[in-house]
Structure 1
Amino acid sequence: MNVAALLLPDFSLILAGWLICRFTPLGREVWHPVERLVYYLLFPVLLFLSIVKSPIEVGPASSLIAAGLLLSCGGIALSWSLPHLPLLGRHIAPRDHAGAAQVAFRFNSYIALALASRLAGEAGSQAVAILIGVCVPLINVAAVWPMARQSESRVLRELARNPLIIATVSGLAFNLAGLALPGWLAPQLQRVGATAVPLGLMAVGAGMQWGQLQSSRVLTAGVLAIRHLLMPLWAWLLARLLGLEPVQAGVLIAFAALPTASSCYVLAVQMGYRGPYVAGLITLSHIVALASLPLALQLLS
């Protein structure tokens, strides 16, 4: 499988955003409204659709659901523990950690769907849809929680009004209730959701400042090591412990090695955190994934 070809469209959009912001009249003042549009409308619609598109059958997929939840919980626990580690913790600023912790356990849903389809066809697409449906609500809550606490906001209020969490919880409830979108509405929402990925990635490029990474090297190394090394190893172990069938095991391991979500940047900016630093982490995550994805897939053998 050509992983570079799979990741090239995302790289291209990040680079396009960077070039447009710096070398055309469409500077930062243009991208702030774009970020708000992506955060409050486009990404929520995309998340809702990604969860409701495939019915979640809890019984047959119980082992995969358990593996996905345990995988996410492991990544969240590792990410949240970084400031408390001996020797390393004192080099990590609490506020920087609150905004960047999400990079370690969130994932690029668009690449997940494309990769699963190439790995195992329709069965792979169904497996990754289940993982997205059960993991996205958990990891979105985990992404917002440290930022809300660090800002000394009312955590439950921040969670209740966060558009990404509202969309994912609504989608999960809609799915489990066995509801279906009306035929006339689904195409309209799909068109709206389809714009989230390109605009979100271009916003990442527009907001990126490589120099920001120099000030938080320990945190950078920590979140990327969790995302691209520890998460795939944890997925491999879970697949063996839970006795997942080959398709489910393959999708879980590939899922664990994905680059992080572009919405990490938009969420950090909208909650008042260091967006350029998070944008740099997202770009590095896509670069590291060029190596981590093939290595993770080698675990299958």
Structure 2
Amino acid sequence: MNYAQLLFPDFSLILCGYLVCRYTALNRTVWQQVESLVYYFLFPVLLFHSIVRSPLDLGAASGLIAAGLTMGVLGIALAYSLPYLPWLGAHIDRREHAASAQVAFRFNSFIALALAERLAGAEGLLLIAVLIGVCVPLFNVGAVWPMARHANTGFLGALVRNPLIIATATGLAANLLGFQMPVWLEPTVTRIGAASLALGLMAAGAGMQFGPLASAKTLAVSLLAIRHFFMPLIALGLSWVFRLSPVQTTVLLSFSAVPTASSCYVLAARMGYNGAFVAGLVTLSTLLGIISLPFALGLLR
């Protein structure tokens, strides 16, 4: 599989946002409004639709679910531990870490869905939908908690008001209750989801500055190492521990190695943190996915 070709659309949209923001009249003032649209409307609709469109068979995929949740908890623990490590903590700014820790464990659901379908067909698509449905709430809570804690805004209040977590919770509840999107509404919701992907990636590019990455190189390297090296190794170990089938192992490994979520930038920017630094991490993660996906699916599997 040509991983560079698979990742090119995401990276090209980030590049388009960067160029449009800096070399046209569509400057940061315009893109700040786009960020609000994506964060409060487009991304929540996308999350809800992604979760409800495939029935969750929790029993048949219990081993995969346990492995995915365990991998997520370990990834969050690794990301949170960085400021407390004696050889790294002194070089890590706590506020920058609060905004960017999410990069280490969140994932690009569109790339994950595309990979699963190409690697394992309909079965792979269903399994990755199950993983997305059970892991998104955990990862969103893990992303919001350090920012709310550092800003002293109240964790529970931040969760209740967070549109991404609201969309995920309602999507899971609707799925388990057997809700199905009406056929006449499906095309509209699908187009909203496509718009959220394009605008979210372009907004990340518009807010991107490579300067902040140089000022926090230790943090950037540490987070990207967790996302693209340690997470695949953890996934491989868990596939043995939970005795996953070959298809489940393939799905879990691909899930562990995809680039981080483009919405990392939107979440950090809308919560008042350094979005430019997070946008740079998202861009580098997209590039590193070209290496980590062959590593996970080729060498490890």
- Structure 1 segments (4+ residues) deviating >4 Å: none
1:240 paired residue number: 240
* Amino acid in the other structure paired with 1:191: R
C-alpha separation in 2, matches of 1:126 and 1:300: 23
1:259 paired residue number: 259
Structure 2 alignment gaps of length 5 or more: none
| 1:37-76 aligned within 5 A | 37-76=37-76
Q: Alpha-carbon deviation of 1:86?
A: 1.1
- Tell me if the contact between 1:250 and 1:300 (Cα under 8 Å) persists in the aligned partners: no
C-alpha separation in 1, matches of 2:234 and 2:280: 25
| 1:82-231 aligned within 5 A | 82-231=82-231
Among all aligned residue pairs of Structure 1 and Structure 2, give the percentage whose two residues are the same amino acid. 61
- Give deviations 1:67-106, integer Å, cap 9, x for gaps: 1111111111100111011120111111000000000000
- Tell me if the contact between 1:208 and 1:279 (Cα under 8 Å) persists in the aligned partners: yes
C-alpha separation in 1, matches of 2:241 and 2:87: 32
C-alpha separation in 2, matches of 1:115 and 1:181: 24
C-alpha separation in 2, matches of 1:247 and 1:203: 35
1:269 paired residue number: 269
* Amino acid in the other structure paired with 1:7: L
C-alpha separation in 2, matches of 1:81 and 1:88: 10
Aligned residues: 301
Q: Alpha-carbon deviation of 1:300?
A: 4.8
* Amino acid in the other structure paired with 1:104: A
- Give deviations 1:111-170, integer Å, cap 9, x for gaps: 001011111111111111111000001100110010000000111011011000000011
- Give deviations 1:180-215, integer Å, cap 9, x for gaps: 122222222222122000100000111000011011
C-alpha separation in 2, matches of 1:74 and 1:18: 33
| 1:26-45 aligned within 5 A | 26-45=26-45
* Amino acid in the other structure paired with 2:55: P
The normalised TM-score by structure 1 is 0.98
The normalised TM-score by structure 2 is 0.98
C-alpha separation in 2, matches of 1:194 and 1:14: 15
C-alpha separation in 2, matches of 1:181 and 1:225: 39
- Tell me if the contact between 1:236 and 1:299 (Cα under 8 Å) persists in the aligned partners: no
C-alpha separation in 2, matches of 1:187 and 1:2: 29
C-alpha separation in 1, matches of 2:108 and 2:38: 15
Of stretches 145-154 and 176-185 in structure 1, the one that deviates more from structure 2 is 176-185
* RMSD (Å), alpha carbons: 0.8
C-alpha separation in 2, matches of 1:191 and 1:288: 28
C-alpha separation in 1, matches of 2:33 and 2:6: 29
Q: Alpha-carbon deviation of 1:33?
A: 0.3
Structure 1 alignment gaps of length 5 or more: none
Q: Alpha-carbon deviation of 1:299?
A: 4.0
